[in-house]
Amino acid sequence: MRTDTGHVFKLEDYRPSDYLIPRTSLDFRLSPDATHVTALLTIERREGVAPTAPLVLDGDALTLLGVAIDGHALAAGDYEATPDRLTILKPPAAQCFELRLETEIAPSRNEALMGLYRSNNVYCTQCEAEGFRRITYFLDRPDILSVYTVRVEAPHNEAPLLLSNGNPVERGALANGRHYAVWHDPFPKPSYLFALVAGALGKVAGSFTTMSGREVELGIYVEPGKERLAGYAMDALKRSMKWDEDAFGREYDLDVFNIVAVSDFNMGAMENKGLNVFNDKYVLADEETATDADFANIEAIIAHEYFHNWTGNRITCRDWFQLCLKEGLTVYRDHEFSADQRSRAVKRIAEVRTLRAHQFPEDQGPLAHPVRPRRYREINNFYTATVYEKGSEVVRMIRTILGPELFRAGMDLYFERHDGQAATIEDFLKVFEDVSGRDLAQFALWYHQAGTPNLTVSSTHNAAAREFILEIEQSVPPTPAESRKRLMHIPLAFGFVGADGKPVTWAAVEGATVDDGVIHIRKRRHTVRFSGVSERPSVSLNRGFSAPITLSVQQKADDQFFLAAHDSDPFSRWQAFNTLLTDALIAAFRQILDGKEPVFAARLAELAGRVACDEALEPAYRALALALPGESDIARDIGKGIDPDAIFAAREALARIIAETNRDAFSALYDSLADNGPFSPDAASAGRRALRNILLDYLSLLPEGAALAARSVILVAALAVLAHRHSGTAEAEQALAAFEARYRGDALVLDKWFQIQAGVPGAQTVDKVRALMQHPAFSIANPNRVRSLIGTFSSANQTGFHRPDGEGYRLFAETVLEVEKRNPQVAARLATALRSWRSLEPGRQAKAKQALLDMAKVENLSADLRDIVERTLA
């Protein structure tokens, strides 16, 4: 484990390396406790660098066995080796030389799951961001592109399968039951994309013919016996390969493409060139135990990692500050893929819900940072919703501003100009400026400036002058280390809706550039005058969520109700209804704090009923509309003095009124949605199930609800409804016990069992979580299990985690420190659950702060955890 050095890496300090490594040959003799690694590196001194410049290679917890240059072992005084660094003090005068390094590592003892480790007796690697330096000394930075040849050797019975990046070139048997394989990747790549997998795994085979007619062999490797669970992933992979050809003209470039699913993995998946390694959660699924969200996630993540082949691998990042160059862009690409495969409107709403739930709190709290950060202490902590999700929104805005044709032309130019390079955000923006002739300097602030911009909008209609006026004002709130903000270029898509539900047009406009239904906000204030508007329209703003902003519109509730029923933009229609629900919940929250019974307008519950039963809307859309804003969404909109119990009570009260008002309609609709045919994971079927599940959630609030949920309890969704809405009842306890007995041997399904119980609202769940940590199936070393129990409890259970006596925080802090001893990365990720502690009411706030202070005072904290804890407290 690397303890915190306190070193701050700064973007402006970037310098090209003095040395390059054009070729890398690796030889692995695998053994769980003593794997021998020989690295043969072709080192090239950069033109103009003095031959006296020492060569400094990165390491992390390495043991050096030998070092030689051009075949001659180095003498003790020629180099300095520590576990974290190897310095060749006097490199040869020749511009190019060969460095041979021997190191020994112990994969079986690697619990940080970075570098080479073992998961269920399978050797696998994770090298992003800085894991390669745990394998051998190297210039472990993304701008060092090297052509790799990898030889892997192991006993055949332990590891019949030997995989690495690129194409297979040779394999064979050796003495003593050993065997070897050699892989060669012709495409230069940074070390973070290196991968090796070895073990006994089952294979699902497939093939794909690319647009130029090349055959690519596809393989998905899973734990033996689980092959039948990988069919959907294989199908998603083929669709992804085809889509990238159609949508972006990108063809796959190697002879093979392999995916390996492992059960111990720090992230979702990793895009290593030609050899993706996945958390098995995002590969394995069947109809009995996977939820529709699981299928959608598998499709999206398979696509995401595949798309990295061009956005990330062929064109990589110059340095880790540019992480969004590959991640934001690739998330945008996987969002577009899912929108094309499924329903665009539904997908967009789901994306925005995710952005608001994860990125907005980040942007509004102590961990706020720009999409392209300027400094970091620990890069592992910047795999954030801001880099990924907001990074994707920024790419989407470029497309909105330029239009689809110029956007595609810009992407084509990007691939043409930067293929084989390590690029920057400036390079990316430049291609769009070059194809469009536009100046994107102000727009670039989206990459450089943290914080969610706010737009305040009011409107007036002058009937006599037939003029409609929008007053728009932008502000960007201060964020850590950025007190003064510059004005942004915000593309605000909009429309006017007349009393008949039809679009209202105008004759002329002044006060801002308006094109293609988009107002371009560039100044602090715009008074935008639309002439020739004879009736006062309802204003539909930020259509399709054209910009990741918060919007305060001075608009009457009547207008919101009207838009919730008539807006032709499906996103904005959903938004109008969601705004009504949020406003009602915030009002109820305040009533509860004042000791009153919450009151809701009858027409809100009636509108919910009409949306639920509107056959013109897709079932998946209706399901999303009926999902009340989450407790943390409501908390975020309230902002300060949060009492999670009062929010929970407000939400329950509204849900109950909606259920009671629509009892008969919901009941009939629920029955009509029963799935009788064979299971299909497609979007339309999933949408019907989603609607049915949310109706069940409402109906379970009625007296007859528990029995209804208990009847359908085989489904994970129904188990969650029963356990959450009727916790502690005999029905719930029996259902949980039966589920556990049935799926005891299936880790991924058992994760759901832990997750459901960690999410049960209420004060008693802290004790339940403590008890579950003693369950024989709980393992603090397995990230999926930890995330299911502790992650769910701390980030998705507002009333349990924020128990007024602080017991939830205490359990949390203890557990994070326990996880940290093995896996600092996972611990640091968990610790972000307290990022919004300042918005809590004073009592909870003091207790949350104490938990953070308790973590901060621990000595020798890892770089990962100390960075999060200290920034959260700052």
Starting at the edge strand that comes first in sequence, how are the strands of the sheet with 550-553 ordered?
Answer: 508-510, 525-531, 467-475, 454-462, 550-553
d(CA 872, CA 365): 8
Pick the closer one to Zn ion by CB: 257 or 793: 257
Six token digits for residue 149: 């040849």
Q: What are phi and psi of 380, to 5 degrees?
A: -55, -25
- Residue 286 Cβ vs Zn ion, minimum distance, rounded to whole Å: 26
Amino acid at 812: F
d(CA 164, CA 272): 9
Helix-, strand-, coil-residue percentages of the chain, each rounded to 5: 45, 25, 35
d(CA 46, CA 53): 11
**Residue 182 pairs with which residues in a beta bridge?**
151, 170
Residue the block writes with tokens 């930020």: 542
Pick the closer one to Zn ion by CB: 386 or 474: 386
- Residue 282 Cβ vs Zn ion, minimum distance, rounded to whole Å: 12
- Residue 728 Cβ vs Zn ion, minimum distance, rounded to whole Å: 41
Give the DSSP H/E element, type plus range, for residue 29: strand 19-29
**Residue 57 pairs with which residues in a beta bridge?**
86
Pick the closer one to Zn ion by CB: 327 or 567: 327
Which residues within the stretch 809-868 sit at the binding site for Zn ion (CB under 5 A)? none
**Residue 811, Cβ neighbours under 10 Å: how many?**
22
The footprint of Zn ion on this chain (CB under 5 A) covers a number of residues equal to 1
d(CA 113, CA 783): 10
Pick the closer one to Zn ion by CB: 60 or 327: 327
- Residue 311 Cβ vs Zn ion, minimum distance, rounded to whole Å: 9
Residue ranges with strand state E in 267-415: 269-270, 275-279, 316-317, 375-376
Q: What are phi and psi of 462, to 5 degrees?
A: -105, 100
Pick the closer one to Zn ion by CB: 267 or 350: 267
Pick the closer one to Zn ion by CB: 191 or 572: 191
Residue the block writes with tokens 């890892």: 862
- Residue 362 Cβ vs Zn ion, minimum distance, rounded to whole Å: 17
Three-class SS of 806-834? CHHHHHHHHHHHHHHHHCHHHHHHHHHHH
- Residue 226 Cβ vs Zn ion, minimum distance, rounded to whole Å: 24
d(CA 712, CA 438): 57
- Residue 304 Cβ vs Zn ion, minimum distance, rounded to whole Å: 6
DSSP one-letter string for 401-456 = HH-HHHHHHHHHHHHHHHTTSEE-HHHHHHHHHHHH----TTTTHHHH--S--EEE
d(CA 472, CA 527): 6
Which residues within the stretch 321-380 sit at the binding site for Zn ion (CB under 5 A)? 327
Give the DSSP H/E element, type plus range, for residue 461: strand 454-462
The set of residues, in sequence order, having a beta carbon less than 8 Å from that of 416 and lying 6+ positions away, is none
Supply the residues annotated as catalytic.
305
Six token digits for residue 157: 């019975």
DSSP one-letter string for 214-245 = -EEEEEEEESTT-GGGGHHHHHHHHHHHHHHH
Q: Are 490 and 555 in contact (CB under 8 A)?
A: no
Q: Are 799 and 766 in contact (CB under 8 A)?
A: no
Which residues within the stretch 310-329 sit at the binding site for Zn ion (CB under 5 A)? 327
Which residues within the stretch 737-776 sit at the binding site for Zn ion (CB under 5 A)? none
Pick the closer one to Zn ion by CB: 338 or 797: 338
Pick the closer one to Zn ion by CB: 304 or 871: 304
Pick the closer one to Zn ion by CB: 327 or 867: 327
Six token digits for residue 512: 């801002």
State the residues that interact with Zn ion by CB under 5 A.
327
